[in-house]
Structure 1
Amino acid sequence: MLKEAVYHRPKNNYAYAYDKETIHIRLHTKKDDVKKVSLIHGDPYDWNKGEWQTQRAEMKKTGSDDLFDYWFASIQPLYRRLRYSFLLEDETEQTVYTEKGFYEKVPVEGIDYHFCFPFLNPIDAFEAPNWVKETIWYQIFPERFANGDPSLDPEGTVVWGSKDPTPTNFFGGDFQGVIDHLDYLEELGVNGIYFTPIFKAHSNHKYDTIDYMEIDPQFGDKKTFRKLISKCHDRGIRVMLDAVFNHSGYYFEPFQDVIEKGTESKYAQWFHLKENKVVTEPLPNYDAFGFVPSMPKLNTEDPEVKAYLLKVARYWIEEFDIDGWRLDVANEVDHAFWREFRHTVKEAKPDAYILGEIWHDSMPWLQGDQFDAVMNYPFTNAVVDFFAKKNITLSHFKNQLTHVQHMYPESVNEVSFNLLDSHDTPRVLTYAKGDKKAAKLMYLFQLSYSGTPCIYYGDEIGMTGGEDPGCRKCMVWEEQDQDLELFAFIKKMIKLRKTAPAFGNDGEFSFVDYGDELLAYEKISETQSMIFLINPTTEAYDLRFEENIKQVVDVDEDSNMKDHNIHLAPSGFIILERR
């Protein structure tokens, strides 16, 4: 037994309050090294005749990646206190893993040997909004979705879709355009809209804010925005806005004052100036997003900046009833600010969703005091690499996803924002080099995976586009130019997620093994057990099931089941349900 590979930490994603009564405990060991793990646990004050009283619970192996096996137990301690250790067994030995190391027997002479969960305080239980677990998001880049009111078009606006997008051109997308197409979104089945920034800005992408309290005039006014929110809510569609609090735009009034007056400006402390006067070329002499001079970094430690941004966070919730904030470049803003931000937002609307844009391991932001979730780019990368780019093996893909599943507490995973592409990446079909079958497999996997999935506008009708600005084309509204078959497929997957209990977040996800070439996973809820079989290869795949199963829905006409014999076409799939 390789003891050096055994790891547990009594906090974060290894020991946490899942709800007000339940503690989740995790452990990892070297892959294929330990055969059985038992959790030895007890109340620290429960003693009898000088001995600490303990119980044992067998831990479940919840997955493996290329290095580790992951073990899990769910405990509801009677008095909400817990001391615990782990009994590890293989074919030849057993050992007890404690906070002080490894022992042959369970140390009972003192509880200080054991890991400690001091008390399950209800306020420490991570509680993300329940509605997010049932939400399918649709990301809209407002400038490119629909032009519903040409009278708002910025100077120089070009005819819709008449040119390729560039970093500087405008096509006139606006709020009225979104309102005009809410029937379309409702038909697709989405029930959440994530808007990239809508506030007054200089660029077409609006990530260079001029005024955080005003809507960009090309999109409409506050009356139209309030109408949009109301109409969305009438249809059961939630709305999340994009907040750029890491940096402002070049034409943000306080920064313009700093440009004019330098360190003599009353706003000098709002930014991170390195010299008396602002210099933008060849590199800015102030902190910025990357080295982009038009995006000066805000000093969120400054009390005035903090008060201003928190006012913004509260205003759009209280005045317009938005349902969430997506936070741009969230990892470059200090944790203290995000803690105050969460308090402000949850005070204004307790079930508002707070989503951080972080592309790497985000555990420091996901401990219940800052964000509800982050954009799940590790998930994105694994799915794109496997299905679209085809540059990793099935084994590698499963290892990556298993690692992602164990990065965060289960309460975080349930609301993790799972995207396949966005305004910052190539589109799904472009990743897949036009392979629609591969794209379908990506959507099947995304929509049947734990978390809250997001579809980037236009992907559902087959739009393509490379890196920014190519991924920001105008939405195609001419039906003859839309891929209606792909639309119907994604619509059917969304309906399944909403109607089949195990398909969505109610189903516990786990990989199963039906052969080295076949991607197979189970989703099991209290009332339903589903099996997903995906053939990612270029050859047909046949297998026989002895279980009592039925096909859930016929969505891949080239794959089928007769009696217990299953035929999977190349890039084919089948969804089964245990009877």
Structure 2
Amino acid sequence: MNQAGVYHRPESEFAYLYKQQQVHLRIRTAKNDVELVRVHVVDPYLFNQPAAIRVLEMQRIAQGVCHDYWQVSLTMPHQRLMYFFELMKDQVAYFYGEKGFFSFDNFANPSDYFRLPYLHEIDRFDAPKWVKETIWYQIFPERFANGDPTISPKGSLAWEDSPVLSSNQFYGGDLRGLIQHLDDLSALGINGIYLCPIFESPSNHKYDTINYYEIDSHFGTKEVFAELVQAAHQRGIRIMLDAVFNHIGIRSPQWQDVLLHGTESRYYNWFHIQHWPMDEVFNVDNPAYHTFAFVEKMPKLNTANPEVADYLIDIAKYWIETFDIDGWRLDVANEIDHAFWKRFRREVLAVKSDVFILGEIWHNSQSWLNGDELDSVMNYAYTDYIKEYFIDQTLSTAAFVERLADYEMLYRRQTVEVMFNLLDSHDTQRVMTAANGNVAAVQSAFAFLFLMTGSPCIYYGTEIGMEGAHDPDCRRVMLWDKVAQKGELYQWFVALIQLRKQYQPTITYQVSRIEWDNTRLVVSFDDVDEENHQLIAIWNRTDNRAIEVPNIEQILLHHQVGQGNNVLPQGCLIYLARKD
């Protein structure tokens, strides 16, 4: 056996409290190396009672590029546990515990066991239940709808379908326009809105904040925002705002005070200033102050400074207390210190216990997802694989499934259940453009996304096939005439959203079964209704062959499907079937 491939770590994603008294234990082994895994478990204070020791068989729940992952779920009535693993290969048993591999002859020393001394309910990560039921819709406010032309920026351009070539263009989108289109969003079926920043700022994107306590005047007023939140809540739609706490705008009063008073400014230590006086021209090679991504207009805030932390956390609490928002999306969350996020979580949840805390992190996010900082992250690292497979078509099916498995195994199950899964956003090219207009490829990708555990998101206009290259072109104006047409793609998205809502508990809580060969990819779930149907989705991955699908009881959703329920190349069929 490849002993170097074996790995386990207590009180991590390999051993954690999933629900009250319910523990998940996992172990990783080399791929296709181990035939069977058992775990021997006992209460530490019943160690000398052989009858108290349980031996449980583990299930292989995932297979990655180089490793297999095994898991067992067990109850722990007294909240404590000690355990070791038994791995079988070629009828030989290997025993693995805290000190590594050891000899076992019907007795193991206490020091050979892994231990969970006491798992406290207060330490268990538990994200808001409503997030698991949410289908998000991301809106870039300046480009969504112009409901009040009297407050539009001077020189706003015509609201028309054309590429956006400059980051300095304005079109006049505002909060009133969003209110006017809430019924359209309800008709689409979404039940959560993620709004890009709406606070006072000179730019169209608002990521260079002047005043976090004011709505930008070109978007509306606090009264209009309160109306928006109330109207959304009446329709069962949650509202999540975008907090830019990593940096602030150069027009902010704090930064302006630094420029005026230098080292004597009360705000001098609010920033990461490297030398004074500053250079007349911002020097990227030796910047006078730290910024976001060397952007001169976005000086980085020193969140380790208690005054800065107080200021930002008070802002977060203010918008929850005053307007009853439901979540915060935290810009550049990975560049802010962990101590700040720990305090942020404690204080925000003390105001509203089910606020959703979402971070913008584009890579492995284990350090932020241990239950004491963020609830979730924008899951780009995971969903990039979906785009590489369905859109770019650069991954084989085996590589696709294996990489998804490796990434999902980085996190506790309850974390995966609320991951923010998206295929495009204001920071990426639009998925339809990435697919070169291949509608079937986009539908296949979204069908897969909506059948994966997590909370899916649609970027405004994707439901009508809007295109756009990378920033700023991905921020074109919403095409409401196309929404009114309710075309074929729009209707398909409506059906996809309804399917997700209907089978959300299954998709969230049941681990899907993924199978494949050189012609197809199949995702299935068992016992999805009272009649114990299977929910099955099949994607045709051939270039020129149709795939016949037998034993269909009810078709739920499809695209690129011909006569006789033959799935055509790049097609997908989602249906219910009877168990064999």
TM superposition score normalised by structure 1: 0.95
2:462 corresponds in structure 1 to 459
- Aligned pair 1:542/2:547, yes or no? yes
**Distance 1:453-1:537 versus aligned 2 partners, 3 A rule:** same
What does 1:134-283 align with in structure 2 at a 5 Å threshold? 134-161=133-160, 164-165=163-164, 166-279=166-279, 280-283=281-284
2:88 corresponds in structure 1 to 89
C-alpha contact (below 8 Å) 1:20/1:121 kept by paired residues: no
1:97 counterpart letter in structure 2 = Y
Distance 2:251 2:504 in 1: 50
C-alpha contact (below 8 Å) 1:213/1:312 kept by paired residues: yes
Q: How many aligned positions are there? A: 571
| Displacement after TM superposition at 1:160 (Å) | 1.3
Distance 1:275 1:285 in 2: 5
1:81 counterpart letter in structure 2 = R
1:531 counterpart letter in structure 2 = I
2:328 corresponds in structure 1 to 325
2:519 corresponds in structure 1 to 517
C-alpha contact (below 8 Å) 1:417/1:453 kept by paired residues: yes
| Displacement after TM superposition at 1:92 (Å) | 4.1
- Aligned pair 1:486/2:489, yes or no? yes
| Displacement after TM superposition at 1:577 (Å) | 2.2
- Aligned pair 1:530/2:535, yes or no? yes
**Distance 1:62-1:352 versus aligned 2 partners, 3 A rule:** same
Distance 2:555 2:507 in 1: 14
| Displacement after TM superposition at 1:409 (Å) | 0.4
Unpaired runs of 5+ residues, structure 2, are none
**Distance 1:480-1:302 versus aligned 2 partners, 3 A rule:** closer
What does 1:313-462 align with in structure 2 at a 5 Å threshold? 313-462=316-465
Distance 2:108 2:383 in 1: 49
Distance 2:82 2:558 in 1: 50
| Displacement after TM superposition at 1:510 (Å) | 2.6
1:62 corresponds in structure 2 to 61
Secondary structure of the residue aligned to 2:302 is: coil
Distance 1:35 1:82 in 2: 25
Distance 1:376 1:267 in 2: 35
Distance 2:128 2:483 in 1: 40
| Displacement after TM superposition at 1:268 (Å) | 0.3
1:215 counterpart letter in structure 2 = I
Distance 1:577 1:196 in 2: 38
C-alpha contact (below 8 Å) 2:443/2:559 kept by paired residues: no
Distance 1:358 1:457 in 2: 21
Give the aligned CA root-mean-square deviation in angstroms.
Answer: 1.8
1:128 corresponds in structure 2 to 127
Distance 1:25 1:260 in 2: 58
Unpaired runs of 5+ residues, structure 1, are none
| Displacement after TM superposition at 1:105 (Å) | 1.7
Distance 2:350 2:360 in 1: 22
C-alpha contact (below 8 Å) 2:38/2:86 kept by paired residues: yes
Distance 2:51 2:300 in 1: 55
Secondary structure of the residue aligned to 1:170 is: coil
Distance 1:468 1:371 in 2: 27
2:569 corresponds in structure 1 to 570
Distance 2:510 2:500 in 1: 10
1:281 counterpart letter in structure 2 = F
2:470 counterpart letter in structure 1 = E
| Displacement after TM superposition at 1:385 (Å) | 0.6
C-alpha contact (below 8 Å) 1:423/1:468 kept by paired residues: yes
1:520 counterpart letter in structure 2 = V
Distance 2:307 2:153 in 1: 33
Write the deviation string for residues 437-459 of structure 1: whole angstroms up to 9, x where unpaired: 00110111111111000000001
Identity of counterpart residues, as a percentage?
43
2:140 counterpart letter in structure 1 = F
1:535 counterpart letter in structure 2 = N
Write the deviation string for residues 130-159 of structure 1: whole angstroms up to 9, x where unpaired: 000010000000000000000111122111
**Distance 1:47-1:447 versus aligned 2 partners, 3 A rule:** closer
C-alpha contact (below 8 Å) 2:515/2:523 kept by paired residues: yes
Distance 2:558 2:390 in 1: 18
Judge which range, 85-94 or 417-426, deviates more.
85-94
C-alpha contact (below 8 Å) 2:559/2:573 kept by paired residues: yes
Write the deviation string for residues 340-375 of structure 1: whole angstroms up to 9, x where unpaired: 100111011100100011111111111110011111
Distance 1:487 1:250 in 2: 41
Distance 1:121 1:500 in 2: 32
1:42 counterpart letter in structure 2 = V
| Displacement after TM superposition at 1:233 (Å) | 0.1
Write the deviation string for residues 192-246 of structure 1: whole angstroms up to 9, x where unpaired: 0000101101111000000011111110000000000000000000000000000
Distance 2:221 2:60 in 1: 54
Distance 2:296 2:255 in 1: 11
C-alpha contact (below 8 Å) 1:143/1:174 kept by paired residues: yes
C-alpha contact (below 8 Å) 1:52/1:111 kept by paired residues: no
2:13 corresponds in structure 1 to 13
Distance 1:560 1:368 in 2: 50
C-alpha contact (below 8 Å) 1:240/1:322 kept by paired residues: yes
Distance 2:158 2:108 in 1: 80
1:37 counterpart letter in structure 2 = V
C-alpha contact (below 8 Å) 1:96/1:106 kept by paired residues: no
C-alpha contact (below 8 Å) 2:561/2:573 kept by paired residues: no
- Aligned pair 1:105/2:104, yes or no? yes
Write the deviation string for residues 436-483 of structure 1: whole angstroms up to 9, x where unpaired: 000110111111111000000001001000100010000011138967
C-alpha contact (below 8 Å) 2:440/2:559 kept by paired residues: no
